[in-house]
Amino acid sequence: MSELLPQQQIDKLKAHAAEIEHPHEMIVDVLREIQAHHGWVPDAGVVLTAEILGITPVEVEEIATFYDKIFRQPVGKRVVHICDSICCWSTGGEEIADHLQQTLGIGFGETTADGLFTLLPTCCLGACGDAPAMMIGLTTYGPLTATKVDEILAKERAELAKTTSGKD
């Protein structure tokens, strides 16, 4: 399972889990670490999380499927979460969602052919004051316009190109 998480990281997480009263509190943290390392969380990642925390895979799966920022299927390098809750919807979120779909050439739940972007709807991001809003990685953007979306996507592409060329 080392491709999911380096052994050193596994050992560190296990040691931390052994020290705390309720290791369940670490489920999301461990899943996020696996996701950061592997890109998404396969079944083996759920099993590994359970092993690290000394709980059952079912307990992990319940959290993994509830929390929409944990990806149980392969996703693009950047996941775009566009908010479809009331504040965003009433301030033009639907138009922004349409623009994202047209610009990226994908529908919700799909990934661009170059593997860079996955587009997902999400409920309130807690950024209602900046509606309409979207989140990429841990960054929330808003209030959005079509122009701003284009700028953000261009910035993300440029960052990804830099990362890729740095690895070559």
Q: Which residues bind ligand FES (CB under 6 A)?
A: 83, 85-88, 124-125, 127-128, 131, 133
The distance in angstroms from the start CA to the end CA of the chain is 26
d(C-alpha 18, C-alpha 127), whole Å: 36
**CB closer to ligand FES, 23 vs 93:** 93
Q: Is the peptide bond before 143 cis (omega within 30 degrees of 0)?
A: yes
Structural tokens at position 40 = 């998404």
Of 13 and 133, which CB lies nearer to ligand FES in the complex structure? 133
Minimum CB distance to ligand FES, residue 23 (Å) = 31
Nearer to ligand FES, 72 or 148 (CB): 148
CB of 104 to ligand FES, least distance (A): 20
3-state secondary structure of 6: coil
Closest to ligand FES by CB, 60 vs 131, is 131
Q: Which two tokens stand for residue 48?
A: 């590994």
Shortest gap between Cβ of 122 and ligand FES (angstroms)?
A: 8
The closest alpha carbon to 45, from 55, 17, 32, 54, belongs to 32
